[in-house]
Structure 1
Amino acid sequence: MARRNKIYEGKAKIIYEGPEAGTIVQYFKDDATAFNAQKKDVIEGKGVLNNRLCEYFMVGLNQIGVPTHFIKRLNMREQLCKSCEIVPLEVIVRNYAAGTMSKRLGLEEGTQLPRPIVEYCYKDDSLGDPLVSEEHIAAFGWASQQDMDDILSLALRVNDFLSGVMYGVGIKLIDFKIEIGRVYDGDYQRLIVADEISPDSCRLWDMETGQKLDKDVFRRDLGNLADAYTEVATRLGVMPKTSTPITKPTLIN
């Protein structure tokens, strides 16, 4: 088997060159990190779950006309994606106060917001991904005004889709973050949802009990992270209900 060229390795994924021009292979690791990688662990099976859940969400978005970089899942840990130029922003959509928003504004976690609030953070681990305004984005040329209009529209459409999907299985979508990529067709540019959508990048609470089913389980030492992600996958039908939430899950193809 030919050695693949690694393009980039992040906290939770490795990106390799794809088999064809304009493609990449995204490999999901079992590494769990929090607080800008100050807290680390390896959760066996986490990468498998995130790969399968990411596939589920990306396929759903593609089906309703929200463009993503996802092409297909290759195996238990890898997916084939379109290569794109990542806009250097984390786009965060908040439906309820939690995490840093609660700390910044003194809001009790779980407080429903008057409407979805979209925030932007500059992607730079060394700076702690600082919160930035549209003025910063325009001034430093990270995205044009047209880009920002399109990014806002994409973020809110993803929010509508994810909120509905989660509501249907008794899960409240508190917030999530996405990344946006630019793809080019000649001189024409369009924006697509890139990176991943998984419990790593969302806050998910059980609607009845408030139990956390996302990476806050790891951040706050609330239990077994693999069990929480397995619960999300089971409710969505990604895993059979008879599966035992263990470290090496059996997934439905």
Structure 2
Amino acid sequence: MNRRRRIYEGKAKILYEGPEPGTLVQHFKDDATAFNAKKHDVIDGKGVLNNRISEYIFQNLNDIGVPTHFLRRLNMREQLIREVEIIQLEVVVRNVAAGSLSTRLGIEEGTQLPRSIIEFYYKNDALGDPMVSEEHITAFGWASPQEIDDIMSLAIRVNDFLSGLFLGAGIRLVDFKMECGRLWENDMVRIVVADEISPDSCRLWDMKTNEKMDKDRFRRDLGGLVEAYSEVARRLGILTESDNPVAKSGPTLVKG
């Protein structure tokens, strides 16, 4: 991949030009960041796990008719995706009070919300990704009213799917972040789910113990991030059965 042209590098991923027009290669790094990269570390094996978990989720979304940018996994760290125009919004779906929602509204972490809540944040690291309203989004032209409707519809469908998927694995989906992009097909454009969905972008708690199985282990200095991600992958059927899945060479993954 080093010979391919690098299109973009973010905190956790690199995008390279793809082998065919309209495609990109998404490479998952081992970098872990929090608080807009004010906290940073490199954690061996994290990128491998995020690549595989995100592939599993996106393939399942494709299979149930939720449009995504995902085409196929190429290797342990890379996947082939459709090139889309990323909408500069982070879409956060909350089912349980946690993180900034608890801080902002003084709601005890772990409180079940009356219904799922969708929030929008403007993607701008320099500004700290501020929370914005639909009025801001339409006034500044980040997305049209119809696109907002499409994004919210996708967010609800993804939340329903993920909630059931993780419930079956004994995991509570507290909240998750989703990004969307515009996929151009001739003169037509449609909104699709993009970026990644992994323990980096979800809050996942064990149903019985409430143990955190997501990036809060890094944010809050709890340790054991790769072990937690490996457990998520194991429960989803992605990891092979092994007494020691987190080896120096990285976790052992099911091929497929």
Tell me the TM-score range normalised by the shorter chain.
over 0.9
What amino acid does structure 2 have at the position aligned with 1:170? Answer: G
The Cα of 1:83 is off from its aligned counterpart by 0.2
User: Residues 50-91 of structure 1: CA distance to partner in whole angstroms, max 9, x if unpaired?
Assistant: 000000000000000000000000000000000000010000
Query: Secondary structure at 1:241's aligned position in 2?
Result: coil
| 1:79-118 alignment runs, 5 A limit | 79-118=79-118
1:223-238 matches, cutoff 5 A: 223-238=223-238
Paired residue for 2:52? 52
Amino acid of the structure 1 residue aligned with 2:254: I
TM-score using structure 2 length: 0.97
Structure 2 unaligned spans of 5+? none
Question: Does the 8 A contact of 1:226 with 1:245 survive in 2?
Answer: no
Aligned Cα root-mean-square deviation (Å): 1.0
Q: Which residue of 2 aligns with 1:251?
A: 253
Alignment of 1:4-83 (within 5 A): 4-83=4-83
Shift of 1:243: 4.7
SS at match of 1:163: helix
CA distance in 2, matches of 1:185, 1:24: 16
Secondary structure of the structure 1 residue equivalent to 2:182: strand
Q: What residue number does 1:206 align with? A: 206
Query: How does the TM-score come out when normalised to structure 1?
Result: 0.98
* 1:122-137 map, 5 Å: 122-137=122-137
SS of the residue aligned with 1:119? strand
Note the C-alpha offset of 1:130: 0.3
> Which deviates more from structure 2 when the two are superposed, residues 70-79 or residues 233-242?
233-242
Structure 2 SS opposite 1:90: strand
- Count of aligned pairs between the two proteins: 253
Q: For 2:17 and 2:109, how far apart are their aligned partners in 1?
A: 41
Question: SS at 1:72's partner residue?
Answer: strand
Question: Helix, strand or coil: the match of 1:54?
Answer: helix
Q: Does the residue aligned with 1:252 lie in a helix, a strand or coil?
A: coil
Structure 1 stretch displaced more, 127-136 or 241-250? 241-250
Contact 1:217 1:223 in 2 (8 A): yes
TM-aligned CA deviation for residue 142 of structure 1: 0.6
Residue 160 of structure 1: aligned partner: 160
After TM superposition, give the deviation of residue 2 of structure 1 in Å.
Answer: 7.3
Cα separation, 2, equivalents of 1:155 and 1:95 = 12
Deviation, 1:246, is: 1.4
- Structure 1 gap ranges (5+): none
**Conserved 8 A contact 2:203-2:212:** yes
Q: Distance in 1 between matches of 2:58 and 2:185?
A: 21
CA contact (8 A) 1:231 1:245 kept: no
Q: Which residue number corresponds to residue 187 of structure 1?
A: 187
Q: Distance in 2 between matches of 1:63 and 1:139?
A: 35
Q: Tell me the CA shift for residue 187 of structure 1.
A: 1.7
- CA shift for structure 1 position 224: 1.2
**Letter of the 2:91 counterpart:** V
Give the distance between the partners of 1:78 and 1:243, measured in 2 at CA. Answer: 26
2:189 is paired with a residue whose SS is: strand
CA contact 2:92–2:178 (8 Å) conserved in 1:
yes
Query: What secondary structure is seen at the aligned counterpart in 2 of 1:154?
Result: helix
CA contact (8 A) 1:243 1:250 kept: no
